[in-house]
Amino acid sequence: MLYEFETTLFQVEHLENFPSLKEQPFLYKQRARTLLQQLLQKTLDPLQLAIIHYQLGVNFLNCKENEESRKNMAKSLQLFSQIEDIENYLTYIQSIYNHLGFLAINLDDNETGLAILAKAERLGEYLITKQDCEKRPLKIQGGFEKAQEFYTITLIQIAQARPTSKIKEKVAFHCGQTMIRQLKSKTYELRDLILNCISLSDYYSGLQNFAQAFYLLLVGEAVIPEGKRKKLRATLQMAQGRVIGGMMSYCIDCIKSNQQNDPTLPKLFNKYSITFEDVNVKQLVFQPSKTFDEIKSQFRQANTLYKKAMSLFVLDGFVTEHIQILSDISTMYRVITFLEPDPNNVISYLEKRLDLLLPVFNSINPKAYQEIYEKLLVDVAEINNELYEFIVKFNEIDDIQGGKSKKLTEKMNKACLNAIQYYEKIVEQLKLLEDNQRDQAYYLSIIRAYLNIAKAQSNYFSKDKKIKVTYLANSLNQYKQLAEFINQQNQQNQFQAELQMCEEMIYILPSRIDRINQL
Amino acid sequence: MSKKFECVRVVIRCRPLNDTEKKDGHVCIVNMDTKNGQVTVRNPKVADEVPKQFTFDQIFDTQSLQENVYNQTAHPIVESVLEGYNGTIFAYGQTGTGKTHTMEGKDDPPTLRGIIPRTFDHIFQRIENMAKNKQFLVKVSFLELYNEEIRDLLSKNIKNKLEIRENPDTGIYIKDLSKFMIENPQEMREKLLHGRENRAVGATAMNQDSSRSHSLFQITVETNEIVQGQSHVTVGKLNLVDLAGSERQSKTHATGDRLKEAININQSLTTLGNVISALVDNKSQHIPYRDSKLTRLLQDSLGGNTKTVMIANIGPADYNFDETLSTLRYANRAKQIKNEPKINEDPKDAQIRQFQEEILNYQLKVGEV
Q: What are A85-121's pLDDT values in tens digits? A: 888 888 899 999 999 988 887 777 788 888 999 999 9
How far apart are the C-alpha atoms of B72 and B89, rounded to whole Å? 12
Inter-chain residue contact B3 with A432, CB threshold 8 Å? yes
pLDDT for residue A453: 95
Q: Which of residues 307-326 of A touch B (CB under 8 A)?
A: 315-320
Please indicate whether residue A52 or residue A162 has the higher confidence score (pLDDT).
A52
Residue A284 DSSP one-character state: P
Residue B247: which H helix or E strand, with range?
none
Which residue pairs, CB below 8 angstroms and at least 24 apart, start in B68-74?
Answer: B69/B13, B69/B102, B69/B115, B69/B311, B70/B114, B70/B115, B70/B118, B70/B119, B72/B11, B73/B9, B73/B11, B73/B115, B73/B309, B73/B311, B74/B115, B74/B118, B74/B119, B74/B122, B74/B309
Domains of chain A: total: 1
Asked, for residue A225, whether it belongs to a domain, the answer is yes
pLDDT for residue A191: 81
| B146 shares contact with chain A (CB less than 8 Å) | no
| A99 shares contact with chain B (CB less than 8 Å) | yes
pLDDT for residue B122: 95
> Could you read off the pLDDT of B5-33 as tens digits, one per residue?
455 788 999 999 999 899 999 999 999 99
How far apart are the C-alpha atoms of A404 and A402, rounded to whole Å? 7
Distance from CA of A263 to the nearest CA of B (A): 31
> Could you read off the pLDDT of A365-404 as tens digits, one per residue?
887 888 889 899 999 999 999 999 999 989 888 777 778 8
Q: Give the pLDDT band (50/70/90) at residue A206.
A: confident
- pLDDT of residue B303 exceeding 70: no
Q: Give the pLDDT band (50/70/90) at residue B307.
A: confident
CB nearest to A195's CB, from B287, B291, B303: B291
Please indicate whether residue B350 or residue A95 has the higher confidence score (pLDDT).
A95
Q: Are A314 and A322 in contact (CB under 8 A)?
A: yes
- pLDDT of residue B267 exceeding 60: no
How far apart are the C-alpha atoms of B62 and B31, rounded to whole Å? 10
- pLDDT of residue B285 exceeding 50: no
Distance from CA of A461 to the nearest CA of B (A): 15
Size of the A and B interface in Cβ pairs below 8 Å: 178
Q: Give the pLDDT band (50/70/90) at residue B190.
A: very high
Inter-chain residue contact A444 with B348, CB threshold 8 Å? yes
Inter-chain residue contact B338 with A62, CB threshold 8 Å? no
**B236 labelled binding-site residue:** no
**B55 labelled binding-site residue:** no
pLDDT for residue B208: 56
pLDDT for residue A77: 94
Query: Could you give the 3-state DSSP secondary structure of residue B129?
Result: helix
ipTM value, please give it.
0.79
Query: Choosing among A13, A21, A22, which should be mutated to test the B contact, i.e. which has the most B CBs within 10 A?
Result: A22
Residue A22 DSSP one-character state: S
Q: Give the pLDDT band (50/70/90) at residue A145.
A: confident
Please indicate whether residue B323 or residue A499 has the higher confidence score (pLDDT).
A499
Across chain A, mean pLDDT equals 88
Asked, for residue A303, whether it belongs to a domain, the answer is yes
How far apart are the C-alpha atoms of B82 and A146, rounded to whole Å? 55
How far apart are the C-alpha atoms of A294 and A317, rounded to whole Å? 35
Please indicate whether residue A238 or residue B45 has the higher confidence score (pLDDT).
A238
Query: Could you give the 3-state DSSP secondary structure of residue B240?
Result: strand
| A377 shares contact with chain B (CB less than 8 Å) | yes
Average pLDDT over residues A200-214: 90
| Nearest CA among B241, B245, B29, B270 for reference residue A26 | B245
| B352 shares contact with chain A (CB less than 8 Å) | yes
- pLDDT of residue A248 exceeding 60: yes
CB nearest to B303's CB, from A316, A371, A432: A371
Inter-chain residue contact B365 with A398, CB threshold 8 Å? yes
| Nearest CA among A149, A66, A59, A51 for reference residue A106 | A66
Asked, for residue A50, whether it belongs to a domain, the answer is no
- pLDDT of residue A61 exceeding 50: yes
Average pLDDT over residues B248-277: 38
Residue B3, φ and ψ in degrees, nearest 5:
-85, 140
Q: Are B270 and B60 in contact (CB under 8 A)?
A: no
Average pLDDT over residues B285-306: 61
Residue B88, φ and ψ in degrees, nearest 5:
-135, 135
Burial of A436 (0-12, 13-18, 19+ CB in 10 A): exposed
Q: Which of residues 34-63 of A touch B (CB under 8 A)?
A: 58, 61-62
| Nearest CA among B79, B164, B209, B233 for reference residue A25 | B209
How far apart are the C-alpha atoms of A38 and A62, rounded to whole Å? 19
Query: Choosing among A69, A320, A330, which should be mutated to test the B contact, i.e. which has the most B CBs within 10 A?
Result: A320
Residue B317 DSSP one-character state: B
B contacts of A371 (beta carbons < 8 Å): 287, 300, 303-304, 339
Asked, for residue A155, whether it belongs to a domain, the answer is no
B contacts of A22 (beta carbons < 8 Å): 95, 200, 210-211
pLDDT for residue B344: 41
pLDDT for residue B308: 84
Residue A339 DSSP one-character state: G
pLDDT for residue B341: 39
How far apart are the C-alpha atoms of B139 and B178, rounded to whole Å? 10
How far apart are the C-alpha atoms of B355 and B368, rounded to whole Å? 20
Domain that holds residue A191: 186-339
Task: Give start and end residues of each alpha helix (H) in A18-163.
Answer: 27-42, 46-62, 66-81, 90-106, 110-134, 143-161
Min mean pLDDT across A202-206, A420-424, B212-216 is at: B212-216
Residue B290: which H helix or E strand, with range?
none
Inter-chain residue contact A102 with B252, CB threshold 8 Å? yes
pLDDT for residue B244: 72
Residue of A nearest to B343 (CA): A445
- pLDDT of residue B257 exceeding 70: no
- How far is C-alpha A419 from the chain's CA centre? 30
**B105 labelled binding-site residue:** no
How far apart are the C-alpha atoms of A271 and A267, rounded to whole Å? 6
Whether residue B109 is preceded by a cis peptide bond, meaning omega within 30 degrees of 0, is: yes
Ramachandran class of A334: left when φ > 0, alpha when ψ lies in -120 to 50, beta otherwise: alpha
Which residue pairs, CB below 8 angstroms and at least 24 apart, start in A223-228?
Answer: A223/A183, A223/A190, A223/A193, A223/A194, A223/A279, A224/A190, A224/A194
Average pLDDT over residues B75-80: 92
- pLDDT of residue A138 exceeding 60: no
Count of all residues that appear for chain A in the document: 519
CB nearest to A58's CB, from B2, B253, B322: B253
Distance from CA of B180 to the nearest CA of A (A): 22
pLDDT for residue B361: 59
pLDDT for residue B302: 59
pLDDT for residue A172: 79
Asked, for residue A70, whether it belongs to a domain, the answer is no
Q: Which of residues 256-295 of A touch B (CB under 8 A)?
A: none
Average pLDDT over residues A220-238: 93
Q: Give the pLDDT band (50/70/90) at residue B256.
A: very low
Distance from CA of B336 to the nearest CA of A (A): 11
Residue of B nearest to A389 (CA): B354
**B37 labelled binding-site residue:** no
| Nearest CA among A62, A118, A125, A136 for reference residue A90 | A125
Distance from CA of B248 to the nearest CA of A (A): 8
| Nearest CA among B14, B7, B4 for reference residue B311 | B14
Burial of A437 (0-12, 13-18, 19+ CB in 10 A): middle
Average pLDDT over residues B295-319: 78
Q: What is the DSSP string of A457-511?
A: HHH---SSHHHHHHHHHHHHHHHHHHHHHHHHTT-TTTTHHHHHHHHHHHHHHHH
The CA-CA-CA angle for residues B359, B365, B369, to 5°, reads 140
pLDDT for residue A104: 85
Q: Are A422 and A358 in contact (CB under 8 A)?
A: no
Asked, for residue A235, whether it belongs to a domain, the answer is yes
CB nearest to B322's CB, from A107, A318, A444: A107
| B133 shares contact with chain A (CB less than 8 Å) | no
Asked, for residue A401, whether it belongs to a domain, the answer is no
| A145 shares contact with chain B (CB less than 8 Å) | no
Q: Are B26 and B326 in contact (CB under 8 A)?
A: no
pLDDT for residue B357: 59
Average pLDDT over residues A259-268: 94
| A330 shares contact with chain B (CB less than 8 Å) | no
Distance from CA of B33 to the nearest CA of A (A): 23
- pLDDT of residue B53 exceeding 50: yes
* Strands, sheet with B30-33, edge to edge from the N-terminal-most edge strand: B30-33, B38-41, B52-55
Inter-chain residue contact B322 with A455, CB threshold 8 Å? no
Residue B299 DSSP one-character state: G
| Nearest CA among A232, A341, A355, A353 for reference residue A293 | A341
Q: In angstroms, what CA-CA distances link A152 with A11, A123, A174, A192, B252? A: 28, 12, 6, 16, 10
* Beta partners for residue B91, in sequence order: B242, B311
- pLDDT of residue B247 exceeding 50: no
How far apart are the C-alpha atoms of A391 and A412, rounded to whole Å? 6
pLDDT for residue B269: 42
Task: Give start and end residues of each alpha helix (H) in A395-405.
Answer: none
Q: Are A132 and A138 in contact (CB under 8 A)?
A: no
pLDDT for residue B301: 60
> Could you read off the pLDDT of B105-156 as tens digits, one per residue?
888 899 999 999 999 999 999 988 887 778 888 999 999 988 778 999 999 8
**B93 labelled binding-site residue:** yes
| B64 shares contact with chain A (CB less than 8 Å) | no
Average pLDDT over residues A271-285: 92
pLDDT for residue B7: 58
pLDDT for residue B87: 86
pLDDT for residue B305: 58
Q: Give the pLDDT band (50/70/90) at residue B342.
A: very low
Q: Are A73 and A96 in contact (CB under 8 A)?
A: yes
| A519 shares contact with chain B (CB less than 8 Å) | no
Average pLDDT over residues A152-180: 75
Inter-chain residue contact B168 with A25, CB threshold 8 Å? no
pLDDT for residue B203: 63
Please indicate whether residue B237 or residue A304 has the higher confidence score (pLDDT).
A304
pLDDT for residue B175: 93
pLDDT for residue A106: 72
Asked, for residue A221, whether it belongs to a domain, the answer is yes
- pLDDT of residue B263 exceeding 70: no
Percent with pLDDT over 70 in chain B = 70
Min mean pLDDT across B178-192, B229-243, B311-325 is at: B229-243
Strands (E), chain B: 9-14, 30-33, 38-41, 52-55, 58-60, 86-92, 134-146, 149-152, 161-162, 164-167, 171-174, 180-182, 214-227, 230-242, 306-314
| B110 shares contact with chain A (CB less than 8 Å) | no
Average pLDDT over residues A28-41: 90
Distance from CA of B326 to the nearest CA of A (A): 8
Average pLDDT over residues A73-95: 89
- pLDDT of residue B368 exceeding 70: no
Average pLDDT over residues A321-334: 95
Average pLDDT over residues B186-207: 80
Crossing angle between the packed helical segments B115-129 and B75-82, to the nearest 10 degrees: 40
Q: Are A182 and A174 in contact (CB under 8 A)?
A: no
